[in-house]
Each structure stands twice: as C-alpha cells, then as structure tokens.
Structure 1
C-alpha cells in the first residue's frame, strides 16, 4: 500500500512565503493582489478517518475529524469557523438509531451547511460555548456520523479553510492542510455494510486474476481490432524523402498524416496532390464495400502495405482518417519510445506488409467529459480529442454546465461566466458560487482563500504527485473549480475535433443541475434591476416566490429552472443561438445538442414547481402537475434546439414521465443491477427510439477501478475498470450482470422479467460511449488516469459490438490484455498529440493507469504477474530503497514489495504481499 502522506503544517506554508500575491493570476476575473496576511489567531491541520461502517448498517457510518493545533497558542471558542466540502450528508444532532446517535454538542461543536443558501456540499464546523480549548501541539478527535459510506480516500472531505471574526479577517479565509487516514486491512473501514462482500484488492487476488503472457499475431496487436488482416512476409521501409499523395478532398488528412509521421520519423515528409510515384497514397472510393454484403460501408477503409508502398482507400474522408490511425499503429512501440525525445527519432521505420480491410460496427463511438464540476483547459481537451481519435472514437459529448459551473462564454449574457464560472469563499454568493467539491481557483488567486499551497508538490506534503492513484493534493485545493472557454477557445476546440472527424456534442444540463445558471441570472438581476429592469429580468430563471421544496442527489435545493417563465425559454434560445454561432465560426457541423434532463429528485416528498405562483398564473401551465410541467419544458426546449438545425439528445430521464418526442435520442444510464431500470435502453430501442448506450455499470469511467482505498473515483453504481468496458455486451447487457455493486452474485431469475432487445430494436442501437464525470477530475493527469485504459475497452467494443459466447470471453480478454501490455500502452506512454499548427504545449505520453502487480509466496519463492503482460515487474526486499527486475520465481521474504514499471519510466503504486 502507498504510505500515508503526512499533513504539511500551516506554519510551514507561512514560512514558505506563499500568499495569494505570490500565486499566478487567476484566469477568471482575478481579484487584486491581497495585502499581507495578519497574524492568524489559530493554526490548524485536519485529518479525516472513516472508523466504523458497522455502526449504522447501510444508512450511516462513524468517522473522526482530528483537529491538530500547530500554533503556539491554544485554540478556544473564539469565533473561528472551519469550512470544507463533503459529498456525504453529515447527520443532524440527535439523528441515528440504536447503534449510534449524532452527539456533536457533547463535543463542543456544531456542523451545518455553510453558505447562506444551505445548498450543496459546503459545510462549516464551529465551536460552541462548551468547546474545550485545544492546547498547542494537542490533537482533538471529533466523532461524527455520516450518511452512506466512505471506503476510499477520495471520499474524504476536501478544501478545508478557516475564517476568523474581526475586521482584519472580514471576507477572507485561510487554507488549512488536510489528510485522510484509511486502513485497508480493517474491515470496519472498508466494508460498506453487512451486505458488502466485495474484497479489498490484494496482490494475491490480482495474482489469481491476471492473464498469462502470449504472443500475438498482427491483427491482435491493433486497437480496435480490424475486421480482416492479411499479414504479409516482408516489410515496407519509410525513410529519406517520404511523399504522401492525396486527392483534392483529402488535404487535411494528408497533412495530419505528415505531422503524425514527423513525430516519430526523422525524415523529409511532404503531403502533395497525387501525381503518381508517391510512397503513400490517400484516396476515396464512395462505393467501398468492406464487409462484402453489397452495401457501401461508411467510415470503412482498406489499407495496403506491400511492395514498397502504402495505399489507404476510404469510403469517405473519415474512412481514410481511420486507415491513417491503423497505419500509425503498425509502427513499433520501440520507434515511439525512441521518439519521446525528438532528437531520438529513427531515420527509418519498417512497416509490416499487410492488407487490412475494416469498418465500424457502430456509427456512434463516443466519449463524454464533464467540465462543469471541474474545468479542463482547451489544451487538455485537445490532447484528449487527438488520443481518442487515434482509437477511432468519433463523438465527444462535452458536459459544459452543471450546478458547480458554467463553462462556455455566452455573448450577451456575460454573467454566466463572470459569476457562474467562479467558485470561492463567498457565503452569500454575492460575486461567485460558493466553494464546492473541495476547490475554487485551484492554487491561484480569485477565490478569497489565502495561504493555499504554492505548488501541487506543497499541497501533496512536499511529495511530487504521480497521479497513479489518490493524492493528498486533491484534498488541498488542487482542482480548477473556476474557469471557462472563451468563444475563441471553444471554436478552436471545434476546429481541432473536426479535423479528427469527431463530432462535438455540447451539453446544457437543464432544468435540474442548473444552479450555476440560476445563480448567475440572479446575480445579473441584482446588478441591473435598478439600472435597466427589463434587461435585469430578461433571462431570469426562477420564480422568486416559489415555495416548492426539493433536494437533489447532490444536496442542492435551488438548482431548478422554472418551466413556466417565458424568460427561461428566452435564456435557452439565446444560449442555443450562441452555440450555433460558435459552430458556424469554426466551420464545424452542429448536428446534435444534448439537452440534459437528468436527476430531478423523486416527487413526494420533493416538490418541483407546484409552489410557484407564476406557474399558477400562467394560463398555459396553471393546471399542470410537476410531471406535465417537466414535459412542457422539454417540448419547448426541443423546439428551440431544432430551430438551430440540430437534433436533441439527452439523458433518458426526459422520457420517463410519458413524454413522446419524435427524433429524440435517449442516453439510458441508470441500469444499476437491482435498481429496476436495467432494461430501459432496450425498451426505448424496441419502441423505435434510436438509443446511445450510457450504462453506468460498465461505461462510467469516473467510477473507481476497484475496491482499493488508494483508487480515486466514485463507486455508487459499480467499480469500473477496462475489463468492464471491454466485456460490455451492447446487445445483451444481462450477460454482464454477474455480480451487484456489493459483490453479491446475481441470479439469472432476478433479471428474467426484463425486456430483451428485439431484432428491430437492435437496429436502433446507434452506439455507446464512455462517460467521465468531473467531481474527481481535479487535474489533467487524473482525467487521463481514469480514462485510460478504460476508454480503450469502449473503443474496442464500439467498433466491434458483436461478441462470441460468454465462454469464449476469457481467451478474448487474454488477447486484449496482452495487446495492451506489449503494444498499445508502450505506444501510449510515448504518444505525442498531432499538432499541425503549434497550438499545444510540448507533451509526451498519457498518464494511463499502470496496474499493480499480482504476487504471492509459494514455497518461499516470489511468484508475480501483471494484468497487462509485457509491462515490467520489479520487487524490493529492503522497503523500497532498491528495486530488482522480476523475470522468474525467486526466493524472497514475506515483506517483499512489488511495483509495475513502464517503458517510459513511470511506475505503479507499490504493493506488498498479503
């Protein structure tokens, strides 16, 4: 297990000279530099530890907050308040049952929602009159009951900051370092409740599960696997002067190939209109029939590498582009590794002779990225787009808005980003959203939280974060809670994606998950109401006299757009028109807009809009119940989207309440085994809807890889790794339902009554995508860690959705894992995003998750293996001071440590033998 990192004392941060004025300017409306900080009345550090999940069964668990006084004077009840973000609900005083009662008062503290709105995940812990002072150097445990469970370190509360009474400390808070402690060997800390039988990951468990090494033919080395590969006996060298000939409509693809080859080959590479004699030629046959069924295959291609030349023939430009990606995969991993430094590029590379014919099984092969919860820069998005295009993914659903942030500049409504793209210490939310998910303006200015660590390394207790698992830095303000794309940024992203034959699908999540928009429009109203009342109200999204009470899954009570207001639709119309303008400016096709629609809390006890006087006063809505109001909203929203020329897709919640929307493309997601909606996707497809599979049990890539406390991510629907994505069965998801999310076996009869896909329904499955939600995506490295290699399983399955019998899957899985270990991941570790216009920073490699080795002692000898055969294993018998390559069983003590090593020099987390 990775050693627990110790907290960095606040005194050390002070001594480092780090203040807000030392940090880089915030890219989002930065505050003026702060004056020097006054002497702080208290210096505190916090450690969180889940202690006992057996206390409240599945309802709640006991944890401790350990407050450490790191200053020179005692900490009393003198007006300090400790703020933090926590996605779990902290039980109210006196709440609980026979096995545990919340008793904070006895401990001299209270904990409550912190902001004025009392909405979301933002808490405050403060002393009351009976609080016993904490002496210098003393540690004080506060025992707390918390809903659900916290079995991973990433579950810990984050973003601690302290505020003090007095004019010197008005409207500012100070960062407090925090850590989390979790003992993987203690079942009370790692077992959610008595029904949780899923084991914690161990070296022994991995050893039993890991596949054997095997040699692979050419077809098995390529990802996604082509339909047909005829391997030749020779090679085609590329060196010296390499000319790429192309037809007039393929200049972009030829330029892309020239740039990609130039990244790995030290040669003169030129793209030019085809004139004959070029070593590489690109062309289109619009009637190309790859499958041989007499029907043209869109996106299909034929790649011929033989007799000294390379020919790529596509059914269309997309097909040519995918032929280029397969060609790039014919280059050896060693050549990519050599090119990780540009001066190391080989002067000649050899391509194996082959004839490859290929076409995709699904037209929709996608990836979804949430940038609402944590913002990702345009450079991060562009790199991700290039890498996923390498594996023939062609759709990118970008989740631009949510409760915690609005990420797209919208001309005419500047408040959406000047306010709605900012988070920080603002309890009244007068100028920005409150801090959430443990982050504000990352480690920069602009969020009124001072004395944050100066660098990610300082946030990580002076240890450089490797982002191969949980890092303490993610508790200590690392993470872009603030940020947005300017119109120019977004147009750049659209152009970049279009070059790579990726359709970008913008998502505006409404009417729930809309808090950033709602609060921004209230800010606009306050700002303009005395100057221009008409403009102030023009885009208002709520009825200020609405008495409806509801709480979302994330704890928000004020995140709904009102469906009875003309101004709500004026707002959506303006947003849709501006999105259309971005696509037009970028020369990108706007085919689809994602309408959101998910996670309104169940009615009773929640009320959506029945308490709105304006709904009752509107003749069109006065007699509607909440479900009818919801349907009314999406009927109008659909009309607005269609007016842009786009079609509407969205979460399948949109049609849960009896709404029929011709042309609507649902994305069914909530198929958690045992929750009752396992068959929604097949119901819709059988009814005639075209469906995009989004099943959380297998396709939510933000869910943690496995039950290891050091794995980042959520796990509410399942643990999801690359095996879950690879073995996903689009046409028979019930075959994937072997165990529930707690590790209990599922009986076939439990799903016997569920709807199966008909032959006609099967034709309506457009495809699938991997989804990456943003709550835990606090750095680009975490994005890559959670996406790769999971998205590789998505790419394989979306290209090849038809699978053999379940009994044949172990062999197929073994082939896939060997392909990753021997070919795919070594190339990925040295991958350079193709950069035709020098618009990206220098970047080599993807921070894919490196699997921990499996191992056990047998007759005193260490036996070890790895999930992706081909990756190196190392062991240490001196507590990690020195490491030795493992090649065969070797005598070793019980305290031997193991790690996996990659060609690019990175390593996995360290594991011990259990």
Structure 2
C-alpha cells in the first residue's frame, strides 16, 4: 500500500534533472543504487518520450503514426550495435513495409528494427548497422506505425529496459525512464478515425451536463435505496452502555456490528444472546418472504433489525451504519470518536431485486495483496454486494498456490527480464516485480519511503505506470486464500474462483513446460503429469492480446488431470474453512476467429487420439467444456459459470451459468444475454458497454483505462437497464447516435427469460490497475451504480431518467461520497488500524465564462469547487458566479481534502 504515488526521485533525475532542491535522491542501497550509477555502469543512459502523432494517417483507421524520442544522457554514445531496448505495447507494431499508399512502416531507413522476442505485448528495438550513433546529449526520433489508434496516455508503451552486450551486463537489464506526450487540442491525436464523433472532455461540456443541486430526503442517504423508508417521530441516541442482543444464528453479525460501532462511537459496546434490555436487537423473521430481506426500526429508544435470514440481518446492519451521521465518521477519522450518536426515527423494509449482485476482480494481469482484497470486500459488503468473482489466472500470471504443482507459482506468478522465459514470464503491461528487486531489471525508480494510500493517491493518469509500477509478480498462499474466504464469508459474500481455460492460459502452459524441463531427466512421468500442450503442434493462432502460445490442448489426458488437481485443491480450501463454494468459473473467452486461425488441427496428439482425431476445432472446444464442467461438478461439487463464449457454437450445457459480456453496439452480439435467458440458462449480466469498470471514465487524455467497448462512467452503471439493455443503446462507442431501427430485430427478453436473469456484476480488469489506489479509482464511484442497479434492477416505469440520475448524483455528492472519505473497514482482527478512506474518482468540475463571470458546477453536488486566477498558486472556494479575468483554473474537492485534476479556462 505504501508504494504509491509520490514522485519517483530517481526517475525524475534521470529524465529531466533535479531542479527542486528539496527533491533529494534516496539513500544508496540495494534497492536504491547511487544516483550516478546509470552513467558509470552502462555505456549510455537513455530516456524515452512517446507521442501519438496522427491517428488519421490512413483512411481505413487500421493504423496510426507515433514517435519514440530517445535521449542519450551519456556518458558514451549509443552505438550501432551491442544494445537492445525492450518494452511492452498493447498495439501491434506494423511489419516493415506494411501500411497504405505512401504511408508505410520504414524502420530500416531509420537504422532500427522492432521485433518480438516472445508472444504477447513484448517488443524489442535493435540497431541495424546503418544506425547513426546517438551522442551524449542528443535526441533521436523514430517514427513507428502501429495498429488502430491511441488517444489516451494509457495507450503509451511502458516498462522500457535496455541490455548491453558484454559479460558484465549479462542477464541484466536497466530501466529506461519513459514519458508520454499528448496534445488534447490536436484532433489528429484525439480522434480515432473520421467517424469518431465523441468530443474530448472540456469544462464547458461538463458544465452543460452536470445536474443542479437538490434538497434530499432521508432515503437519499442510503445506498442502495431501500424499497420502503418511512420517517418515524423522534430519535434514538446511542451512548454510554450499548448492548446488542442477538438470537441464535446471528451471533457473528452481532460481533460485526459491535466492531463497526466501536470504530465510530466512544461507548461501552457489547453483544450477548437476547435476554431483554438490549438497545439494539438482531432477530430472524423467516416469514419476511424474500431471501436477504430485512426490516429496520429505529424508534422508542431502540433499534431492531429483523432479517429473513442471517444475510438479511447483515444488510440491515449496513443500512443502520448509513444512518449514522457523516460527522461522526469524520470525527472518528481524526481519533475523536463522539460519545453519542443520534439516529433518526425510521421504519425501513427492504429486499434485493437480484440474487446475484457481484463484482469481478482480475488479479492475473496485476496482483493485489490479500489486504487490498479484504478491504475491497468490506466496502462491497457495505453496499450489499454478495458475489465476488475472483479472476485468479490469465496469460500474464497464475495467482493461487496449488499444493502439488509448485511451478504454477514459483514460475507462473513471476514476471521479469527473461526473454527466453526459462525461469519466469516476460514483463507484461510495463510491469514485472513492481518497483522491487527480483526481476533482473536494475535502476528502477525507488519506491517512495512513505505515502498515504488515499491522500497521496492518483487522480487520473499516473506517469509511474509507464515506469514499472504494478505487481506483475505475486500470488496467494493456501493460508492467504483461506483468510480471504473466511473474511468474505463473514460478510455474506460468495467467492467464485476463475480458472480461465483453454485460452488465456499462458501462465499455466509455460509453468507446466518449465516443470517438464526441470523434471524430464530425473522423473519423466512426473514431468509429463500435467503437461498442457502438444510440443509438436503446428497450429497457428494469435489472441487479441497477441499471444500465440496460450492455449491448453483439449486432446491430452494430462490437461484434464491438471484441471482435476486444481479443482480438488480449490475445493479443499473452501472445505478447510467452511466457506460455501457457489460456483467455479471455467473461463472460455476470446479464442480467435477460425476464419484466419487454427486452434488445434495442427496437433499430432489430437490426430493420434481416437476420441479426437476426426473432430473439428469447434467440436474439440465443445468436448473440452463438457469434460471441464464434469470435472467441476464431480470434483468441486458445484456448478460451473463462465463466459458465454462457451455456448456460442451450439454447445448444450445444462446447469451452466453464462456471463454474456461482448454486447458492443454494432458488433452483432448485443442480444446474447437475452437469447440464453430465453433458452432457459440462468444468466449473469456482464455487459462491457456499461459494467466494465476498468474502461476509462471519459474521453480525456489524462483519464486512465481502455475504451475498446465504450467509455464507462458512473452514469453508465446507474442507468444500465438489466431487462431492457436497448434503452442504453443511445450512442455507439464513437459517439454516433444509434438508430433504433438497427436494433429492432434483436431478441427481447420474454417473461420466462426475465426470471432467468440471476443478476449482474461490475467487472474490473487489471491491465491498468497497477496499484491499490488505482483499483479504487477505477471501481468507485462506478461500482456504486452497479450496487444500486443490482439491488433495484427495475427503473420506476414513470421515472424520468434525467431526474433519476440527478437525484442519484446529489445523493452521492451530499451523503455517500463523504462517508467513503471516512470509510474504515470493519476490523475484527486489527488488520487495518490506520487505513481510512477510499480513493474514489473526484470528478473535474464543469465551468464556463459567462459575461465575464466564472460559472461552475460539479457532477456530484455537495463536493466543493475551488478556483484560481494565478495558475494554482492560490485557491478560493467557489460559491456563486464570480467576476474573473485572464486564465482561470478550477478543481473539485472532496470532504477529505483530495482534489480532482485541474481544468483550465482561457
């Protein structure tokens, strides 16, 4: 948590010189080499600046032009041989001579070549003999063509590291500081192609869209909104001795409530079996009707929570916590817990609309510690989320210890400089082992000595993400995972582990090949026990992430032995702690189109197997998932969920729970979820256009995140219509209005199909989630819209969407976000004593100059707006239109003092 987000002194010194006398270099040591080491250890010390120059370089939007500017800091020249510059880049770099018309890739003419030492996003620049050496102090620009476009700084290549020839540099790479330059005012840099009509964010655009301030009632303080909220005369005071009485079956919930109250109230808080006289009572009321439903009464000097079940009692507790005044939480944050809390009199009756209310977290691309996961789970539980889809495996990392297969984590959880991948996976997404040692990359920026994980957290694009920030390495031990399961169980959250196969399996495939190499001479049988590929397979395929070697072979008995062992060990973790295993996610997504790829037809072992030799690739895929579902059912004793790709090709899997995700408007699969629900499948909505939380909030070069499916902000999640997704289809991802006629033939949800929608979840993919603070920035407040819609899936039929949105934004700004500023995880075991607050995104304010006066507003009314007329040297609070002259800067401020990025009006 403490590696965030202050400046990186060494990087700053290497790239631009140390201009601030207070910006002193760290003390030299094993993790912080002497500051002059780059110029004494290496022949030439480089920096790289990358800039997308022209997205309109060709008429078909197939590629764009960018520049890599190398600067040599010395001491010697960068010659025409003896060095290689490695980096990660999620765009495909065009081959020499590839392009259109007169715009073609011409690297050789610049004296370099760019190639891939391994599959994936890993590239290397090497000099040709014609390369003109770069002298000390000289800059050299290399023009490069790459696929598609780049309009956000997130698109930049990252993780540059250089190697030099010579014995003293053998097997060691040196970090090269990188920066990105992007001009938001240049249409060539911010327009994806001529059909891109989505404007770049501006203060004026935001000003026109932001809602007005509203006065709200008690119900607006609560999220998700309860179904019935009735004010009751009087108040209830909690102070002095506060006893919590509980009936059999909710003792743990009483302990949770006691811990939560102790965090915010200076009182003697105890819990005991109900015997009379308790001020707070927790009861079960089986006839409430709906699972997880509850009633909450605050009246006549006491508080009573009645739940249909223990989960219902728990959710009543979360609503009670939201009734506590925000001022009490703010005071507790400073260490001055109030001695009295006054609760408003109220009767609340509530129940969820969906049984599945979830969030998916990817830790395969970038790892998050168990502490970060636990804190997230507590916040999710506060908003009545009850499912946690844990994406534990992917091409870039295997994150769970599996007893008996140690190579999965000793190899498959590690990234670093190892082009041949003999001991670990190569770097991915610009990261390997974060800013720590152990990945064979020296001279990385040092981790900050200290940083408040919320106060110093990022708001927007973070340059450090180009320079090795991000846990590419890491895994959960058996003990870690069991702790997470216990923690989730206490909060009534089911953890759904994902083993993503047969694609997205490169970490597992390479780990098992490492195991084979390690054991083949000493124990051939054990070496081959869990092998996942046919070494003679000549099939050619490339995933969308540019991997050519990330498939598990479905024809091998050893593939199924591997999956059986993995599921057995996962199930053992749940059994060991008594946690429920709701489902195992079997993956199944993103195998490339068979129009121009071959999956397994080039495998001799497939052709030699009598059961598979005559099967097409589609048939092999379907057979694999029949067997995989059976392994999960018989070994894990549970049901299988997975991506809906599994049943795209005529597959019939009774009991399977599909997660339809690829509903991008205009791509053809918009109605998959409704097709499957109408067919009888129980469906978990996972639509990328509205529920992918890792996608950038909006089209602003300084917003982190991808945008391949859409830009996704809090409005996208809040206005999502689970039972009528076409109501969300107003504009496509390029900002072009969608003609309703284009969707008229899409499948609608039948009455029976509606019953088969289990629920929905927000999904957070981790390519750009490189720190705990960035995780929170992407997730919140977008996840609050998911929580609201999952609990209340039906939009009021008479409700005006604009009015409902305005009410929701006011609720967030006035009540919900200030509580998050002071949020402390309920800490039953003293795990997070000093961590308070959530790094949600503070929105940039809207602003316009009207008749010489600054007019400003903010997306979440209730947040403060500041303005400056001296380029940020001093700030004043904005309360009403004010006369200004010259350039004006504006920013929004949260109640904890965190501010948005600064927007400028000229």
Per the normalisation by structure 2, the TM-score is: 0.96
How much has 1:37 moved relative to structure 2?
Answer: 10
Q: Which residue of 2 aligns with 1:606?
A: 597
- Aligned equivalents of 1:63 and 1:133: distance in 2? 21
- Aligned equivalents of 1:239 and 1:866: distance in 2? 37
SS in 2 for 1:248: coil
- Aligned equivalents of 2:831 and 2:448: distance in 1? 25
How much has 1:838 moved relative to structure 2?
Answer: 1.5
Q: Which residue of 2 aligns with 1:27?
A: none
Alignment of 1:430 with 2:433, yes or no, is no
Distance 1:675 1:20, change over 3 A: farther
Q: Which residue of 1 aligns with 2:310?
A: 317
Q: Which residue of 2 aligns with 1:8?
A: 12
The answer to whether the Cα contact below 8 Å between 1:373 and 1:404 also exists between their aligned partners in 2 is yes
- Aligned equivalents of 1:160 and 1:18: distance in 2? 24
- Aligned equivalents of 1:786 and 1:480: distance in 2? 17
User: Superposed, which structure 2 residues align to 1:856-867 within 5 Å?
Assistant: 856-867=848-859
The answer to whether the Cα contact below 8 Å between 2:81 and 2:129 also exists between their aligned partners in 1 is no
Q: Which residue of 2 aligns with 1:53?
A: 55
Please, which of 255, 277, 293 is the counterpart of residue 300 of structure 1?
A: 293
Alignment of 1:577 with 2:581, yes or no, is no
Q: Deviations over 1:52-108 (max 9, x none)?
A: 111024101110001011123221213111110000001111000025111111111
Q: Deviations over 1:578-598 (max 9, x none)?
A: 000000112101120000000
Gaps of 5+ in 1: 25-34, 289-295
- Aligned equivalents of 1:18 and 1:454: distance in 2? 10
Please, which of 683, 692, 713 is the counterpart of residue 691 of structure 1?
A: 683
Once structures 1 and 2 are overlaid, which stretch shifts more, 229-238 or 702-711?
Answer: 229-238
Alignment of 1:243 with 2:243, yes or no, is yes
User: How many residues end up aligned between the 2 structures?
Assistant: 890
Q: Which residue of 2 aligns with 1:645?
A: 637
SS in 2 for 1:398: strand
User: Superposed, which structure 2 residues align to 1:793-804 within 5 Å?
Assistant: 793-804=785-796
Alignment of 1:636 with 2:591, yes or no, is no
Distance 1:895 1:38, change over 3 A: closer
Once structures 1 and 2 are overlaid, which stretch shifts more, 656-665 or 226-235?
Answer: 226-235
Distance 1:352 1:758, change over 3 A: same
Q: Which residue of 2 aligns with 1:292?
A: none
Gaps of 5+ in 2: 1-6
Q: Deviations over 1:617-636 (max 9, x none)?
A: 11111110000000010001
Alignment of 1:444 with 2:447, yes or no, is no
- Aligned equivalents of 1:36 and 1:194: distance in 2? 44
- Aligned equivalents of 2:710 and 2:535: distance in 1? 39
Once structures 1 and 2 are overlaid, which stretch shifts more, 578-587 or 311-320?
Answer: 578-587
Q: Which residue of 2 aligns with 1:901?
A: 893
How much has 1:187 moved relative to structure 2?
Answer: 0.6
RMSD of the TM alignment (CA)? 2.1
User: Superposed, which structure 2 residues align to 1:22-33 within 5 Å?
Assistant: 22=31
- Aligned equivalents of 2:69 and 2:101: distance in 1? 25
The answer to whether the Cα contact below 8 Å between 1:184 and 1:200 also exists between their aligned partners in 2 is yes
Alignment of 1:594 with 2:585, yes or no, is yes
Alignment of 1:101 with 2:104, yes or no, is yes
The answer to whether the Cα contact below 8 Å between 1:456 and 1:478 also exists between their aligned partners in 2 is no
Q: Which residue of 2 aligns with 1:703?
A: 695
- Aligned equivalents of 1:871 and 1:506: distance in 2? 38
SS in 2 for 1:263: helix
How much has 1:456 moved relative to structure 2?
Answer: 4.9
The answer to whether the Cα contact below 8 Å between 1:19 and 1:452 also exists between their aligned partners in 2 is no
Per the normalisation by structure 1, the TM-score is: 0.95
- Aligned equivalents of 1:806 and 1:432: distance in 2? 58
- Aligned equivalents of 1:37 and 1:51: distance in 2? 31
SS in 2 for 1:441: coil
- Aligned equivalents of 1:156 and 1:806: distance in 2? 46
SS in 2 for 1:397: strand
Q: Deviations over 1:398-421 (max 9, x none)?
A: 000000000000000000000000
Q: Which residue of 2 aligns with 1:886?
A: 878
Q: Deviations over 1:314-353 (max 9, x none)?
A: 0000000000000000011111111112x21111111110
- Aligned equivalents of 2:326 and 2:746: distance in 1? 45
Q: Which residue of 2 aligns with 1:79?
A: 82
User: Superposed, which structure 2 residues align to 1:760-839 within 5 Å?
Assistant: 760-805=752-797, 808-839=800-831
- Aligned equivalents of 1:814 and 1:111: distance in 2? 51
SS in 2 for 1:70: strand
User: Superposed, which structure 2 residues align to 1:739-750 within 5 Å?
Assistant: 739-750=731-742
The answer to whether the Cα contact below 8 Å between 2:39 and 2:74 also exists between their aligned partners in 1 is no
Please, which of 519, 523, 527 is the counterpart of residue 510 of structure 2?
A: 519
Alignment of 1:712 with 2:715, yes or no, is no
Alignment of 1:196 with 2:187, yes or no, is no
- Aligned equivalents of 1:99 and 1:858: distance in 2? 47
SS in 2 for 1:557: coil
Q: Deviations over 1:490-518 (max 9, x none)?
A: 00000000000000000000000000000
Once structures 1 and 2 are overlaid, which stretch shifts more, 325-334 or 7-16?
Answer: 7-16
SS in 2 for 1:495: helix
Distance 1:5 1:432, change over 3 A: closer
User: Superposed, which structure 2 residues align to 1:232-311 within 5 Å?
Assistant: 232-288=232-288, 296-311=289-304
How much has 1:806 moved relative to structure 2?
Answer: 8.4
- Aligned equivalents of 2:491 and 2:796: distance in 1? 31
Q: Deviations over 1:605-650 (max 9, x none)?
A: 1000000000011111111000000001000100000012110000
How much has 1:248 moved relative to structure 2?
Answer: 2.2
The answer to whether the Cα contact below 8 Å between 1:457 and 1:465 also exists between their aligned partners in 2 is no
Q: Which residue of 2 aligns with 1:293?
A: none
Q: Which residue of 2 aligns with 1:328?
A: 321
- Aligned equivalents of 2:606 and 2:32: distance in 1? 48
The answer to whether the Cα contact below 8 Å between 1:874 and 1:883 also exists between their aligned partners in 2 is yes
Q: Which residue of 1 aligns with 2:162?
A: 162
How much has 1:126 moved relative to structure 2?
Answer: 1.4
Once structures 1 and 2 are overlaid, which stretch shifts more, 483-492 or 98-107?
Answer: 98-107
Q: Which residue of 2 aligns with 1:221?
A: 221
Alignment of 1:682 with 2:680, yes or no, is no
- Aligned equivalents of 1:337 and 1:142: distance in 2? 53
Q: Which residue of 1 aligns with 2:834?
A: 842
Once structures 1 and 2 are overlaid, which stretch shifts more, 575-584 or 55-64?
Answer: 55-64
How much has 1:268 moved relative to structure 2?
Answer: 1.1
Alignment of 1:70 with 2:73, yes or no, is yes
User: Superposed, which structure 2 residues align to 1:380-529 within 5 Å?
Assistant: 380-456=372-448, 466-529=457-520
- Aligned equivalents of 1:260 and 1:99: distance in 2? 67
How much has 1:20 moved relative to structure 2?
Answer: 7.9
Distance 1:386 1:17, change over 3 A: closer
The answer to whether the Cα contact below 8 Å between 1:244 and 1:270 also exists between their aligned partners in 2 is yes
